[in-house]
Structure formats: C-alpha cells, structure tokens
C-alpha cells in the first residue's frame, strides 16, 4: 500500500490506530518528492529534517498514550508566501531570495497545533501575481496531469504537490482565483474561504482587501477538515471574524431543495465548449438531487475584471513599497544615493509581471487619475458586492466555470497581458465581494486535461458549499 495515495481522512485512521507511524509517512512522502518533484517543480524548499523531527515527536507522544488531535502526523505543504518560522520564504522573487521567516503565520500555527507535518514550501507566481506559475523567479512548475501544461496559478506549486501526491493537502493564497484556478487545472479541490474566515497574519500581502488563505486538497472531506483547523478569529488580524467558527463536514443531505443560480455573464462566448458542458452536467446533477437551477443576470460582473486589476494593482503598489533594499531583502550593489538604492534594488529584485502591476497601481493612485480610476473602481466594487447580496436573497449558491478553458501548454500564453488577465473572468468577482467559493473537479476537457466547476456562496456559507461540492464530487467519480 502506497501511503501517498491515501486521503487525509484515510491516513489519519491508520496513524491513530498506529498501523503506520508519522515518521514512516513523512519518509515515504520525502522519497516521492525526491523521485518526482524534479520533473514537476512544485517545491522551492523541502524541510526534511524539521519535518522528521516533528514526526518523531508525534510518534513518541502517541506511543506514550497522549491524546493527540485527529490528524496528527498528516504531512502537508505551504505556499511560499506564507511564513514558516526558521524556513526560507521567497515569494518566488529574487528580492526575498535569502529571507528566512522569523515566525509562523497564524494558519501555520494552527496546523502545528493540530499535529500537521510541514514538508516544505511550494512554488508560485512571483508575489502571487500570475495565473500559470510561469512568473516564478526560480523555476516553472508543471502540471502533474501532463507535464507540458501549466498547473495554473498563482498557487500552482501547492496544487501540483497535491495532484502529484507529494503532499496530502497544501495551503495557498487566493487574491483573484489563485487557489481555485490551479485546483481546476490540476484536478483537485480548491477552497477560497470567506474574507476574514482565516487570519491573514503571516501571509505576505499582495492586495490586502482581496487576499485570503485557501486550501488545496484531494477530496472535499479533507478540505472541510483543514478548514476546521485554520478558521477563526485572530487578534493580530483586524479583518478576521468571530462568525467563522464551526464544523465543516461535507455530509450530503438527501434531496436538498437548494436554489442554484447560473449567471449568464459567466457563461458567455469566451467560455470553451468543454467547460460549458461540464457546468451544464453539474447543473443537471444538482437538479437530479432536487435542486432548482435557474439562469440569472448579474450585469455588474462585466466590469469585475477591470475593477479587480485596478484595485489589486493599487494595493500591491502600496504593499510592496516595503521591499526597498533598506530594511530586509535584496540590496543592490553600486548605488550612489537613496534613490539609486531603491531603483537598483527594486529593478533587480522584481520580475516583469510584478513591475507591470506596480506601475499600473502607482498610475491609478497618482494625482489627477485617482478619482477617474481607483475611486471609480471602488464604487463599482460596491455595486458588485450589492448585486451578489441581492442574488443570495433568492438563491443558496451560484454555479459557474472556474476558468474559461482548461490548462494551456507551457510557453503558449498570449504575450498580451490583458488577454492573459481575461482568464480570471470567473474568479475575481468572488474576491471583490469577499465571498467563499470552491472549485471541484468535474470531468475532463481538451487533451484530457481536468475541468473544475465553481460553487459560490454567501458569506460564511462554507458548510453548504462543501455539501454541494461533495455531491458533485461523488457524481464525478461514478
């Protein structure tokens, strides 16, 4: 029996009954990482010594009869923009190439409290800016389903690690779809919780009003279990919410009378036939279980993409100002004064996509343009949020694609950045409104690449979303 093929729930049963040990489990995962990750490139840093010490301590406690959390000894990975104390955190950028995190992020603390073994840090698009994981300063991550294809991004390393069976689950971050998109492309489950449900303390900020720690896992059941570990208020994050507490069990109620909406704006001509068919099949499955599925109009969603890129770039230009070569991170050589220190350090340290978004952000915040672009984008965002709330007065959830198409081949993306950004069409409206959403694998498209469908719910409706996701997951496996 290969331990790397087991879900988190299956692995936990064997660990609790002491049929296997935490050290044995971690060692098997590290063997697979050593054999497989060279061709996938999911990991930037592997923490073998630290993980084996963790595993040994858990085995000793279990042998002594100490009561442990249900999933103690399960191994997982963490995206490399989330702090893990004493471990290098690069954000896949040269500007943080040698930075070592001095503390654990809140989500990592909670994983440790639950006895989760941390295998390493996963690759991403630099500072989470991208949707293919080709923007990393260090390596390209490949899709385990077919290595000539991208895994999606920006949490492509986390999704690839789960799909390649080199982690049971992984933490990612989702600013505009960065968990759900790679989940769809790699054929795993990806959950973006309600904004504020999971503390962002220790997550490197890209766009603070949009960022959220998310989960990539093999099953919906595992996703709910991880969410239960990491949710809840945190005094260090003023945006974290008390309402996030609760159990997240993916039990499927019989013949649930859900009302499900299908927004026409998210199923337009830009959506490929393969993806459209997957969404139609998902709607049919839900109807067969007693749900009522209806087409709706959400006119403001046509403005979501431009609104997202204005707001996220503006916030990024502010958040990334701290990387200046003075306090920490890369410092350029040969500077003559403070201005040249800033210019050289940032020019050498940031990649092309990060520079593009920082320039856009600085422009929309500049005098004479702030009102025309940034403040207008905030007004449109509020309209989008209001429109979502109007939908949820009538419907329990919204069904849509995750991505307009399946994964593209590595190097095949359009050189026009605006055309690249259109791939986020179906995911960014969720972040603008702070809503929870889950991507569930639901078939295959062109070239047998995975297709995911997205379920969006009202704030703090994760339990219902997991129930719907579990139903679709079950039908997808039949």
Whether 129 and 184 have beta carbons less than 8 Å apart is answered as no
Whether 434 and 194 have beta carbons less than 8 Å apart is answered as yes
What is the CB-side half-sphere exposure of residue 119 using CA atoms within 13 A? 35
Give CA–CA dist 142/150, Å, rounded. 5
For residue 216, list its beta bridge partners.
170, 190
| Phi/psi of residue 465, nearest 5 degrees | -60, -40
**If residue 163 lies in a helix (H) or strand (E), which one and from where to where?**
helix 156-163
Active site residue 272: no
Tokens (6 digits) for 177: 């779809």
Q: Which of 21, 79, 192, 300 is catalytic?
A: 79
Name the 3-class secondary structure at 296: strand
Q: Which of 93, 154, 155, 461 is catalytic?
A: 154
Active site residue 178: yes
Tokens (6 digits) for 283: 């709607």
Give CA–CA dist 40/150, Å, rounded. 10
Contacts of 213 (CB under 8 A, 6+ apart): 82, 105, 107, 171, 172, 173, 174, 193, 198, 199, 200, 203, 230
Distance linking the first and last C-alpha atoms of the chain: 23
Name the 3-class secondary structure at 55: helix
Give CA–CA dist 399/241, Å, rounded. 26
Give CA–CA dist 73/58, Å, rounded. 7
Q: Which of 93, 131, 155, 178 is catalytic?
A: 178
Cα Rg, the chain, nearest whole Å: 21
Active site residue 79: yes
Give CA–CA dist 360/182, Å, rounded. 25
For residue 455, list its beta bridge partners.
399, 438
Give CA–CA dist 44/91, Å, rounded. 10
For residue 295, list its beta bridge partners.
262
Name the 3-class secondary structure at 240: coil
Name the 3-class secondary structure at 19: coil
List the catalytic residues: 79, 154, 178
């Amino acid at each position: 029996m290969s331990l790397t093929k087991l879900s988190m729930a299956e692995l936990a049963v064997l660990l609790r009954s002491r049929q296997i040990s935490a050290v044995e489990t971690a060692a098997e995962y590290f063997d697979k990482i050593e054999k497989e990750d060279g061709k996938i490139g999911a990991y930037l840093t592997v923490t073998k010594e630290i993980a084996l010490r963790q595993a040994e301590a858990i085995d000793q406690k279990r042998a002594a009869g100490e009561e442990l959390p249900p999933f103690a000894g399960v191994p997982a990975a963490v995206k490399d923009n989330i702090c893990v104390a004493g471990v290098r955190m690069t954000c896949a950028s040269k500007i943080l190439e040698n930075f070592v995190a001095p503390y654990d992020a809140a989500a990592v603390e909670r994983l440790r409290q639950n006895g989760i073994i941390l295998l390493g840090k996963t690759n991403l698009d630099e500072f989470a800016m991208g949707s293919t994981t080709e923007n990393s300063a260090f390596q390209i991550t490949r899709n385990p389903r077919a290595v000539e294809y991208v895994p999606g991004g920006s949490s492509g390393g986390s999704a690839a690690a789960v799909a390649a069976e080199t982690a049971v689950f992984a933490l990612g971050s989702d600013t505009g779809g960065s968990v759900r998109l790679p989940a769809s492309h790699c054929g795993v489950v990806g959950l973006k919780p309600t904004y504020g449900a999971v503390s962002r303390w220790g997550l490197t900020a890209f766009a603070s009003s949009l960022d959220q720690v998310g989960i990539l896992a093999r099953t919906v059941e595992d996703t709910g279990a991880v969410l239960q570990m990491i949710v809840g208020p945190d005094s260090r994050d003023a945006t974290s919410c008390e309402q996030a507490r609760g159990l997240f069990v993916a039990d499927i109620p019989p013949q649930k009378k859900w009302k499900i909406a299908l927004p026409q704006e998210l199923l337009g001509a830009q959506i490929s036939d393969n993806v459209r068919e997957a969404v139609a099949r998902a709607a049919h499955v839900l109807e067969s279980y007693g749900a009522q599925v209806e087409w709706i109009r959400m006119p403001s969603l046509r403005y979501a993409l431009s609104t997202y890129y204005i707001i996220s770039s503006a916030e990024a230009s502010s958040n990334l100002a701290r990387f200046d070569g003075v306090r920490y991170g890369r410092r350029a050589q040969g500077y003559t004064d403070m201005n040249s220190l800033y210019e050289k350090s940032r020019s050498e340290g940031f990649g092309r996509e990060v520079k593009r978004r920082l320039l856009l952000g600085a422009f929309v915040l500049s005098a004479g343009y702030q009102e025309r672009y940034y403040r207008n984008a905030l007004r449109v965002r509020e309209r989008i949020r209001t429109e979502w709330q109007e939908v949820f007065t009538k419907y329990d959830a919204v069904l849509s694609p995750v991505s307009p198409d399946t994964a593209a081949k590595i190097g095949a993306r359009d050189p026009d950045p605006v055309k690249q950004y259109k791939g986020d069409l179906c995911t960014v409206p969720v972040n603008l409104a702070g809503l929870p959403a889950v991507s569930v694998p639901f078939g295959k498209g062109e070239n047998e690449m995975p297709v995911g469908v997205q379920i969006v719910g009202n704030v703090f409706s994760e339990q219902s979303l997991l129930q719907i996701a579990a139903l679709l997951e079950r039908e997808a496996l039949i």
